[in-house]
Amino acid sequence: GGGGGSRRGVGFLEANRDVTAAPRFHGGMVGLGVGGCLQSVLALEDVAALPGSWYNSCPSGAGGFSLGASAAAMVSLARLHGRFALDSCALARDGLEGHREAVAALGLTLVPRQGTAPGVWLEGGYWLGRKRPLSSITQAWEALERGTQWHAWRPEFRDYVQVHQPARVLEELRVHGCLEAALEGLRPLTLIHGDFKLTNIYFLEAVESLEVTDAVVPCPPAGTGSWLRLIDWQWAGMGVGAADIAHTLCTSLASPIHSNPHLLDWLVSLYHRALAAQPLPPLRRERPLSLAELRRQVAMHIVRFVMDTICFKWPAMSPEDFDRNRTACLHGMDRRDLATQERNVCMAHVLALWLLQGAQAETWPGFQTDVAAASLAAAKSPHADMFSVQF
């Protein structure tokens, strides 16, 4: 890797060698590479030598997590977040900046927002909060529609955009819903990975035969310790667990799962059950957040993720990028196939409406998978109950 983030990643592993789900760190160095850029080299444990068989991409070639891998990811995230959760009452009194001793008691070291010392970010995730404040969503979207890459989108999606105008709904949530301020106020805070996606995860092959039910939180096989190993910790820091959940839901699921909101809601519920099963850390006196509040937080972070994509990632893409990604199954939000990106916009649009209306439902909004039915519903109402549209 390169840049200051790599130095931070090395420093994090040095300071937290026993962090949940991270490969054991044997050493590393950071120095100037070609062109004067910072380059890092890490020596991590050989995952292939661990008990069981491991892989770094979906073996079926489906371009994303299978249902078993998705379930294992949620359970593993719950274990990570449960271990490092902070007490919200103390945070409300002292704030995170004044809470360094409590963070240190968890084995973590905080660094300033602009610092490069070893440790974890005050705000985890490279696309969150003050690291990259949002600008006008509608202006960014209007610029996209004027650009030459607009032709790459599917006609059905362009029709959806013309009828629903999702950018205007997102902008209303950003401005009148004060989304950024609301995100900063979410609790409880914990350690988040910050870039929890397919390319940064090694899975046990056993996840492919994992039996998932509503009644059981799956445990990893004996002797393995975890369903997965996480790499690329350079954006690790404090945040709410919903940020990691939203990141993986938007970037890393196979299309049959990503296009099914009932499965997405089930994965959020599985995370909540796994989190509730974790023992409370010494500094936590409160019980885990409710499932309804978790759903609301994940919805907010999905919307924020898509806003960031509209404002920063898509404007940097050329028409050739869009054409190349039309059918590609690549990794990272800016390189995933267009169908995934289109579904994310539809998902964020309906979740933004849900949030603006008070997020009172027991589950996330429903959806229509048939294009003709979706178009008919859109024609009848600009606020049709469409969580996601399968184009």
* Amino acid in position 250: C
- Residue 224: predicted pLDDT: 73
How distant, in Å, are the alpha carbons of 7, 83, 278, 328, 371 from that of 79?
26, 6, 7, 33, 39
State how far the Cα of 173 lies from the Cα of 183, in Å rounded to an integer: 12
- Residue 166: predicted pLDDT: 93
Domains of the chain by residue range: 67-110+119-133+154-363
Query: Average pLDDT for residues 346-352, to the nearest whole number?
Result: 92
Q: Is the pLDDT of residue 2 over 90?
A: no
**Confidence band, pLDDT 50/70/90 cuts, at residue 366:** low
**C-alpha angle 167-347-137 in degrees, rounded to nearest 5:** 20
- Residue 74: predicted pLDDT: 94
**Confidence band, pLDDT 50/70/90 cuts, at residue 83:** confident
Question: pTM of the entire structure?
Answer: 0.84
More confident position, 247 or 154: 247
Query: Average pLDDT for residues 170-194, to the nearest whole number?
Result: 90
State how far the Cα of 21 lies from the Cα of 342, in Å rounded to an integer: 32
Q: Is the pLDDT of residue 97 over 70?
A: no
**C-alpha angle 273-238-247 in degrees, rounded to nearest 5:** 60
Given a contact cutoff of 8 angstroms between Cβ atoms, the answer to whether 261 and 365 are in contact is yes
Q: In this structure, which CATH number among 4.10.260, 3.90.1200, 3.30.70, 3.30.43 belongs to the domain 67-110+119-133+154-363?
A: 3.90.1200
Given a contact cutoff of 8 angstroms between Cβ atoms, the answer to whether 139 and 353 are in contact is no
State how far the Cα of 112 lies from the Cα of 343, in Å rounded to an integer: 36
| Maximum average pLDDT range among 21-35, 141-155, 207-221, 283-297 | 141-155
Closest CA to 118 of 262, 282, 271, 7: 7
Q: What is the DSSP string of 30-74?
A: EEE-GGG-EEEEEEE--GGGSSS-EESS-TT--SSB-HHHHHHHH
More confident position, 390 or 16: 16
Q: Is the pLDDT of residue 368 over 50?
A: no
| Maximum average pLDDT range among 57-71, 82-96, 124-138, 332-346 | 124-138
Residues 6+ apart with CB under 8 A from 94: none
Give, for 25, the enclosing helix (H) or strand (E): strand 25-32
For 277-327, how does the pLDDT look when each residue is reduced to its tens digit (9 = 90+)? 887 665 555 666 899 999 999 999 999 999 998 888 887 777 777 777 666
- Locate 368 and state its tokens: 């229509």
- Residue 77: predicted pLDDT: 93
Given a contact cutoff of 8 angstroms between Cβ atoms, the answer to whether 362 and 369 are in contact is no
- Helices 291-308/338-356 angle, 10° precision: 130
